[in-house]
Amino acid sequence: MTMPAKGFVRNFRPLEILTEEQMDSIHRGSLDVLEKTGVRFESQKALELFDKNGCRVDYETRRVRFPPGLVEECLRQCPSSFHLRARNPENDLNLSAGNTTYFCVFPGMRTVDLDTWLPRTPTVEDNHNAVKVLDSLENVHISVSYVPYCELEDVPPSMLLPTSCWSRMKYFTKPFRVGQAQESWIWGIKMAQALDIDVFAAFESAPPLTWYEDAIECAWAHAEAGFPIEVGCGAVLGGTGPVTFAGGLVASNAEMMSGIVLVQLLRPGLGTIANCFVFPQNMKTGAPGFGQIGISLFQSGYAQMWRSKYKLPTLLGACGPMAAKKPDAQFGYEKAIACSIGALSGGTIINAIGGLHGELTFHPTVAVMDNDMAGMIGRFLEGIEVNNETLAIDLIEKVGPIPGFFLGESHTREWWRQEQFLPTVFDQATVEEWEEQGKKSALENAKARVEEILANYEHTLPEDKEQELDAILEEAREYYRQKGLA
C-alpha cells in the first residue's frame, strides 16, 4: 500500500459539545424513528432487499421500518478507515474516523465576475482551468461531484455531470466523488476503471426520510463495483427537518442510518463516508441559512456522533457556501468560523474550498484564499510541541530581562519555520510596504497566484488514457442523445 497524503493530523482531543447522555438520547431517537416512522425508498429492488433482511416493508407507501438490531449491525460493519487511490499515488487518501482532516473543493453552479459580482455560466475551458488550480493547491486533498461548476455553456443538463467528471479525470490528480443524477455514475465508474483509480458515490437522501431512485441506483452501482459510498443528509431545519438542532440530528441520522443499512446489505464492509449538508432555514427568505452559526452547532454535534459513536469518517459540506455574495469580511468570518469549528470537532473532510455564495457561485481566486485559511486551520490542528528544547528554559535564563532579546539566538533560527505557518497570498506586509507596493489585497495576490498556476500547470495524463476518457464521454453523449436528452 502506498503512503496516504498527509492531510492535517490533529494532536489533541476534539471539541465535543454533546454529553454522552445527550448522544444516547439522539441515537435512541433515530432508532425510534427508523422502527416506528420508517423511511421511504423509491426503488422496488431496495424494498425487496429490505424485506428479505427482516425490515417491515409497506409496498404501497414504499415505507421501510427497520429493526434496531439490523441498524446497529450495519453501522458496525462500516470500516472506520479505508484507502482512496488517486491518479497520483502521492495524493492517495486514508479516510478514517481518526485524527486526520482533509480539505475538499466546494462547487458552485456558476462562476462570478470579480468586478461586478454577477454570476455567469462558465465554459468547459473555465472548468478545466478551475480544476487545474484546485489540483495545484497544497491544501486541497479531495473533491466532490460537480467540480467546480454545475452549469456549463453549450452542455445539455444530462451531460453536465459526465463532462465535469471527465474534466477532473483529466486534470485533477486527487480522489473525487461521482454524482448521482441521471445515471451519470455509469461514466464515472467507467472512467475510474480506465485510469485504475478509486472514486466514491454520492448517495444523498431527500429529506424528510426519503430516498429517490437516482441516489439508490448510484449507490447500488458503486457497491457492485466495490467503490466507497458517501451517504448524505441535507435537511433545511424548519423546512425539511425539525427546526431544533437535536431534532434535526435525530431525523438526519435516521436518514443516514437507513442509507447505510442499504449499502451494507449490498456489500458488507464497504467503505462509507457520513456526509452532512444541513442548514438552519433562513426564516425570512425560506432558503437554506448559508453562513449561519447554526451550521457549526449542527456539524459539531454531527461530527462528534459519527466520529466517536459510529466511528465513520465524516464530510462536512455546509461550511462551503456562504450568505455573502463576494469575498468580503462577512464571507471571511462565515467561512472561517464554520471551517474552524468543523475541523476542531474532528470532521474528516471539510468541504469548503472555492465556494462563494450559496451553491450558486465558485471562483478559483476564492479557492486560492481558502487554501491559505485551510493551511492555518491545519497548522492549528497539529498543536504544540512541548519538550526541553521548545520549553527553552535555559535560553530564557541566558537571555534574561530587558535588554535581553531572542532574535539573535540560534534557537529562533532553528525553530521559527516549524512553529509558524506562512500563508501564500494573505497580505503580511507592514503598512509602509503595503502602500509602496500599490496597496494590494489578498484578493489581488490570489488573482496573481491563479495566473501563475495556469501558466505553469503541467498536464501529466498519458495521451492514450486521455483518448479513452474522450471516448467514454462520446459514448455518454450518444447514450443521452438516443434518449432525447443531448
Partner 1 sequence: MPVKGSARDFTPLWILSEEQVESIHRGSLDILEKTGIRFESERALDLLEQHGCLVDREQRRARIPPGLVEESLEKCPSLFRLKARSAEYDLSVGANTLYWAAFPGMRAIDIDTWETRVPTVEDNHNAVKVLASLDNVHLTPSYTPYCELEDVAPAMLLPTSCWSQMKYFRKPMRIGQAQESWIWGIKMAQVLDVDVFASMESAPPLTWYGDAIECAWACAEAGYPVEVGCGAVLGATGPVTLAGGLVSSNAEVMSGIVLVQLINPGTPILSNAFVFPQNMQTGAPGFGRIGISLFNVMYNQMWRGRYNIPTMFGSSGCGASKLIDYQLGYEKSIATVLTAVSGASIINYVGGLTGELSFHPALAVLDNDVAGMIGHFLEGVTVNHETLAVDLIEQVGPIPGFFLDKAHTREWWKQEQFIPQASDQLSHKEFEELGKKAALDYAKEKVDEILANYDHDLPADQEQELDNILEEAKAYYRQKGLA
| Pair 259, 252: CB distance under 8 Å | no
Residue 114 interacts with partner 1 (CB under 8 A)? no
Residue 58 interacts with partner 1 (CB under 8 A)? no
Q: Which is nearer to partner 1, 83 or 379 (CB)?
A: 379
Q: Which is nearer to partner 1, 415 or 457 (CB)?
A: 415
Beta bridge partners of 362: 355
Q: Interacting stretch for partner 1, rule CB under 8 A, among 36-44, 74-82, 266-274, 474-482?
A: 36-44
Distance CA 232, CA 201 (A): 10
How far from each other are the two terminal CA atoms of the chain, in whole angstroms?
A: 41
Please tell me what DSSP assigns to residue 424: S
Residues 343-402 that bind partner 1 (CB under 8 A): 344, 357-358, 360-361, 369, 373, 376-377, 379-380, 383-387, 389-393, 395-397, 399-402
- Each residue 304-323 as x (binds partner 1 by CB under 8 A) or -, in order, gives -------------------x
Selected from 65, 89, 239, 486, the binder of partner 1 by CB under 8 A is 239
Distance CA 16, CA 8 (A): 19
Q: Which is nearer to partner 1, 146 or 302 (CB)?
A: 302
Selected from 1, 115, 196, 407, the binder of partner 1 by CB under 8 A is 407
| Residue 200, burial from CB neighbour count under 10 angstroms (0-12, 13-18, 19+) | buried
Distance CA 139, CA 264 (A): 32
Residues 131-190 that bind partner 1 (CB under 8 A): none
In the numeric block, the cell 416493508 is attached to 57
Closest to 337 measured CA to CA, from 373, 283, 303? 373
Segment 441-450 long-range contacts (CB within 8 Å, at least 24 positions apart): 442/369, 442/372, 443/114, 443/327, 443/365, 443/369, 446/365, 446/366, 446/368, 446/369, 447/114, 447/365, 449/368, 449/424, 449/425, 450/133, 450/364, 450/365, 450/368
Residue 289 interacts with partner 1 (CB under 8 A)? yes
Selected from 4, 7, 8, 33, the binder of partner 1 by CB under 8 A is 33
- Residues 6 or more apart whose CB falls under 8 angstroms from that of 36 comprise 65
Residue 68 interacts with partner 1 (CB under 8 A)? no
| Pair 346, 304: CB distance under 8 Å | yes
Minimum CB separation of residue 14 from partner 1 in Å reads 8
Residue 303 interacts with partner 1 (CB under 8 A)? no
Q: With the C-alpha atoms ordered 263, 46, 478, 150, is the resulting torsion angle positive or negative?
A: negative
Q: Is 192 helix (H, G, I), strand (E, B) or coil?
A: helix
Question: C-alpha cell of 357?
Answer: 455564495
Q: Which is nearer to partner 1, 194 or 206 (CB)?
A: 206
Selected from 114, 124, 194, 206, the binder of partner 1 by CB under 8 A is 206
Residues 433-452 that bind partner 1 (CB under 8 A): 433-434, 439, 441-443
Beta bridge partners of 228: none
Minimum CB separation of residue 359 from partner 1 in Å reads 11
Chain-centre distance for alpha carbon 125: 24
Q: Which is nearer to partner 1, 1 or 393 (CB)?
A: 393
Q: Interacting stretch for partner 1, rule CB under 8 A, among 77-85, 96-104, 132-140, 281-289?
A: 281-289
Minimum CB separation of residue 136 from partner 1 in Å reads 20
Minimum CB separation of residue 284 from partner 1 in Å reads 7
Residues 217-236 that bind partner 1 (CB under 8 A): none
| Pair 378, 371: CB distance under 8 Å | no
Residue 43 interacts with partner 1 (CB under 8 A)? no
Size of the site for partner 1 (CB under 8 A): 126
Selected from 6, 333, 448, 471, the binder of partner 1 by CB under 8 A is 333
Residues 241-260 that bind partner 1 (CB under 8 A): 241-247, 250-251, 254
Selected from 171, 172, 331, 480, the binder of partner 1 by CB under 8 A is 331
Residue 26 interacts with partner 1 (CB under 8 A)? yes
Minimum CB separation of residue 2 from partner 1 in Å reads 30
